Each structure stands twice: as structure tokens, then as C-alpha cells.
Amino acid sequence: MNSNFDQHSERAKELRALLNKANHSYYVLDAPEIADAVYDQLYRELIEIENTHPALITDDSPSQRLGGIPSKGFKNIDHTIPLLSLDNAFNVNELASWYTKVSKLISSENKTIKEVDNPELICELKIDGNAISLRYENGILTKAATRGDGKTGEDITTNIRTISTIPLRLLLENPPSWIEIRGEAFMPNKIFNKLNFERKNTDQTLFANPRNSCAGTLRQLDSKIVASRKLDFFAYSLYFPANWEPIDDNFKKPSSQSESLELLKNIGFKVNTTYATTKNLNEAISYYKYWEIKKNSLDYATDGIVVKIDKFDIQSILGATNKAPRWAIAVKYPAEEKATKLRKLIFQIGRSGAVTPVAEFESIDLAGTSVNRATLHNAKRIASLDLHYEDTIVVKKAGEIIPEVIRVIKEFRPVDAKLVQLPQNCPECNSKLIQEPNEAITKCINTECPAKLKGLLRHWVSKGAMNIDGLGEKIINQLVNEGYLKSISDLYKLEINCLVALERFGEKSANNLLTEINESKNKNWNKQLYGLGIPHIGEANAKSLSKNFRSIEELSTIALETPENISNIYGFGNEMKDAIITWFEDPNNQKLIKELKAIGFSLEENLNSNYNSNQSDILHGKVFALTGTLDSLTREEARELIENAGGKVSSSISKKTNFLLTGEKAGSKLKKAQELGVKIINENELKLLL
């Protein structure tokens, strides 16, 4: 018995030290050391030991605090109402145990409530962001604070004011003297991915996930940086003086969590509308399972659901412990990261010559898909992982989308494992690889490298450029390997006998492909420009350039003689300007321009188009959405027409939408447009507008 107690005592000591160190790294240093799933596992082990041996509970145990220690970068602020954390469940069985326990507790505490045997629940997604407390006085936002340790947080009012979904004044004509709102600040996945892309290009450390990125943003001392990162906010609870009664007839004092969410919407807050009230436990479990599958379709991170007793009178009966309310529980989803065995590394050469190492590993199921490879970015990333062949690696999906190797479990490394290093020579052409000073990227600079040509051709035929249907990666590889293609212009010199000689190519499919290739000469100037593959020039930038410079000759002259005119274009920095200059200085690219001109490419704005440059601003400021199948235009062609005329195309319908362009089999956007009073037009009406 004593031996068992001693073992538990020693283990509890180890767990306290490890968890306290992890809390300090997470809350104070903004540099998490261990994954949430691992932390939760260790924390639960400590709780089990303390429940079995209460004598082992110490004042420094993580179980005795509400959260982390406030950072010293901001002024501290005391929470008028403590921000309690939630107890966790990790599967539906634990959720069921909580529900049974709560139902019994309600019954034992109060016999007057009729629904004690089956209390109604409300289920909400658990947003993986940062808990924020907002205080409004007489309807005006006066203070905003982080959770901190639950009693004291950080005053981040200035930064919170930059979040557009947080109202500075409540939509209440007669607000109470004070009101406190609780909610979650978060960074949408698309903003997170864009931010990490920019950090990668500037050789900065990447954020691990949207939550860490949000936390780092909220702690920025420069509120302009916060504003630029476009954080978002979901409100989920509110508190006000007990004796306050709304004077406005449009507002009703809430008696439940579901009514609170409705009130929050009415007074100006964004609420996550995925919540659902459920009459019993089975419905709550169905909600959990539904969003476990659907969560990957959301543009924000969620790591579980929160289940609450809906009615406030029952919540008050249950009360709270010193750490968490008894009337709510967080049900976590399984961790979206898994360990697997590294099998080999391949080194891909892109169209710019950049070497990208790709890890291939034993297949694992991750976030709903089977995964067996992940990009490692560059040599610096390999070195930071200390990656060896045959390592056991941990893989997750960055932003729930892109597989990423996040760490190595070194304890499982074979004794004779060899360190992974980038090759000295190009794996395709055997040329010496180089690394430019102050750059993380290693490159092949051989202008005749077949891998670079293949990458450039894949880009040229892609949907955003020439959109040549039927010319995929496999066919491009065959054509290059057989020597039929040595440049983009060679595509337009292909003969039918070259294609029918390839594997699985018949005369009909060969003729179809040649027709597609020939018709691509008529693509718009901006698509031709994008297809050239100038570094850092994506589709949007190519459109901007094409509107400012009407031909390849004009752009070339500006780049080589007065490049400052490129910098004057909105959104164009020195990096893009320098990339354009470098591209036009390359004799091979000047040769390519001449070759494309010779085979019939205009490489300029088509002034004879039905919708010419004189009409380029006719739809300026107008927002369109598209739905259904159009009569003669593809959706992409319709988008081009609208954007070339100065309009914008949105993927969703809102009050800001001016027109919904519809075709056959219109989807749900049509109904929403009708509800919002958005003008609905067909393809012919679009052409009349133009």
C-alpha cells in the first residue's frame, strides 16, 4: 500500500512539473511545447491520482488553478465575473456519464422542476480560439480582456476594437449600466493560411495553428498589425445586473442559453449559428457525430462541442466547482495528428528550380482522408526537425487541410538511422544545386532542367492560365521525356503522330487535345500573362498588371526602364517588382515572348472584344454571385467577363450582393437572394449589362 502511494506521489510530482511548464510555455511565452491531446491525457492522469489520493493535492497543482498566468506584456485587469474553464469529455460515453450525473444531481437538489429526469440541452461548436471578456458600460465598449488565470487577464481593449464583428456600441436603446459578454476570438483558416504563406516567403517561423496565430496577434503591441490580420469573434454568453429589465419591447430578458444567443444577435454580435437545442442525450450525441464529419468544411478551427443545460434556473441549481460549471461540459474530438513511419524522401524541382523535399510515410487516416506524403518546405525545416531516415514522425493537417510533419519521436529512432540531407545535385538533371544568400530555398539554376520545364508546362496549361483540358501531368511528363517538348512554344508545334505514339492515346483524343491547345491562343491577356509563370505573380496580380499595361511590350519596357511604375500599383511591393525585372532580363524569356508571338499569341489586350477596354469599369463596385449552369458561358468565363468589367464575384450571398447570375439547376443561393431582395439576372441580362 505504502509502495503504491509512493509511486503515485512520485508520478504526481512529475506530472505537476511537466504540466506547469507546459502552461507557462503556452500562456506566458506563447510557445506551446506539447499538443493539446497530450496535455489533456497527462492532466487527466494527474486528476485520477488526486481523486484516488486527495492527500497528494498540492497548492501548485494545475488542478487548483483556472487557467494560465497572465502575460506581462499588457496591463492586468481583474474579471468582475470569473472566466471558468470547462470540464472535458473525450467520447460519447463520458458525455453520457456526465448527463446521468447531472440529472441525478438536479433531482436531489430540487424536486419542483418537472424536467429533471430529462433536462433539455443546447449544443454549440467549441471554437478553437481565445476566450475573451468584453465589458460594456451604458452600451459602450470600455474594456476587453483575455482569460488569463480566470480571475485576472490582460487588457487588450485597443486590439479588440480592431475586430469588426465586435460592436463598439450595443444595439440597445436603454442598455443596463453594465453588461459583460463572453466569446471566442479566432483567426479564419483562409487568413491563417495566407499569413503563414507570407511568413514562409519572408523566412519567418510559421504559426503552428490558427489558435496560436490568434493568440500571438492579440498580444501585438501595434494594433495596426492586429487590424491587418482580420480576426473574427463569436459571442456565446452575457451577464448583466440581476435587477435589470429591458425597456425596449423588442428585447426579452433571456431565461436560457438559447434565448441568450438570440439576444446577443439582436444587440449586434456575431453568433455561431450552428448551435442546436436538443431534447435528450441521443440528439446531443447525433450533433457531436455530425460535426465530427462536417467540421473540416468550416473556415475556422473547432476541436469539439460544448454541451450545456439550456435553462438558467436549472444551471443555478447545479452551480459550479472552483474551476468549472457543473451544468456544461466540453466534448473533444479525437486529436487530428498521428504518428507514422517515415519511408523515404523525394526531392521535387518546381518551375523556378526550387527544391522541395517531400516526406513519404506509411498511410494514415487524418481529418477524414488517407494521407501518405507531406511537404517539408526546405532544408531549414528538415534541420529543425532533426529528421533521420526510418524516423517515427507525427503528422497533422495544417488548418485541417494540408498534411504537415510537426515533430519527430526520437525515442523510437533506430540506432543506425542516417540524417536526412538535401542532395548536392539536382535529382533531374544532375546540375549543382545552389542556395542564394539570405534565402532558405535551394535551387537548380540549369535553364534546360527537364523538371523546371515540366513545372512551367503544368502551370501554363492550368485552369487559371490556358486551361487546356486533357493535358495533365502524366502526358506532359511523357512529351518532355520523349523530347517532343523543350519549351512552351513547342506545345503549339505538336503533330498528331507525336500524340498517338504515347501510351493510351487514340486518334480522336489526340485531335481533341490539339484543338484545345490551338484554341488556347485566344485566352485573355491576363491569363496569358499569368501563364508565363513570373515568380510571385498570381492570378490576381496578373489581372492588375494586365489592366495597367496593355501588352507584353509595354510591361517589358516599364520593367527594364522605369520599374518604379510597377511599385505604384496597389499591392505591388519590391519583391514582386524585382521578380518582374529579373524575368524580363532573362534572354530565354525574351526568346519565349518572340516564339509565342510567332505562333499567334497576342500577348496584349484584345481591343476587338465585345466587351473591350472602354467598358472596363462599367460594373465597377458591383458585387455578383453565381449559381446554376449557364447557357453558353462556363462559370469561369462569366467570372472573367464580370471582373474584366470592374465587377467582383463573391462565393456567397449577402446584403452587399448586387446581382445573382443564375442558370439551370440553381442552388440554395437563389432562395437566399430572393429573401434578401438581391436582383436576379440570367446570362442574356448579364450581356446586356455589359
Cell 515572348 belongs to which residue? 593
Distance CA 110, CA 575 (A): 69
Residue type, 5: F
Torsion over CA of 586, 589, 591 and 593, rounded to 10 degrees? -140
Name which of 596, 587, 483 is nearest 532 in CA terms.
Answer: 596
Distance CA 613, CA 645 (A): 8
Kindly tell me the burial class for residue 636, based on how many C-beta atoms sit within 10 Å of its own C-beta (0-12, 13-18, 19 or more).
exposed
Interior angle at CA 349, CA 344 and CA 354, nearest 5: 110
**H/E stretch holding 593:** helix 587-598
Kindly tell me the burial class for residue 626, based on how many C-beta atoms sit within 10 Å of its own C-beta (0-12, 13-18, 19 or more).
buried
**H/E stretch holding 403:** strand 402-408
Contact 340, 361 (CB under 8 A): yes
Distance CA 612, CA 48 (A): 73
Instruction: Report the phi/psi class of residue 483: left, alpha or beta, with left for phi > 0 and alpha for psi in -120 to 50.
Output: left
Name which of 213, 209, 211, 206 is nearest 228 in CA terms.
Answer: 213
CA-CA distances (angstroms) from residue 49 to 34, 46, 332? Answer: 21, 5, 22
Instruction: Choose the catalytic residue: 75, 101, 111, 126.
Output: 126
Distance CA 476, CA 484 (A): 10
| Helix, strand, coil content of the chain in percent (nearest 5) | 40, 20, 40
Kindly tell me the burial class for residue 132, based on how many C-beta atoms sit within 10 Å of its own C-beta (0-12, 13-18, 19 or more).
buried
Contact 392, 370 (CB under 8 A): no
Strand 302-309 to 328-332 pairing = antiparallel
**H/E stretch holding 396:** strand 392-398
Chain-centroid distance of CA 314 in Å reads 38
Beta strands in 105-195 (DSSP E): 121-127, 130-137, 140-146, 152-154, 178-186
HEC string of 261-326?
Answer: HHHHHHCCCCCCCCCEEECCHHHHHHHHHHHHHHHHHCCCCEEEEEEEECEHHHHHHHCECCCCEC
| Coil, helix or strand at residue 253 | coil
Buried b / exposed e along 28-39 (16+ C-beta atoms within 10 A): eeeebebbbeeb
Contact 214, 274 (CB under 8 A): no
Contact 445, 355 (CB under 8 A): no
Here the cell at position 385 is 526537425
Interior angle at CA 279, CA 273 and CA 281, nearest 5: 100
Give yes or no: 344 in active site. Answer: no
Contact 150, 83 (CB under 8 A): yes
Strand 121-127 to 302-309 pairing = antiparallel
Write out the catalytic residue numbers. 126
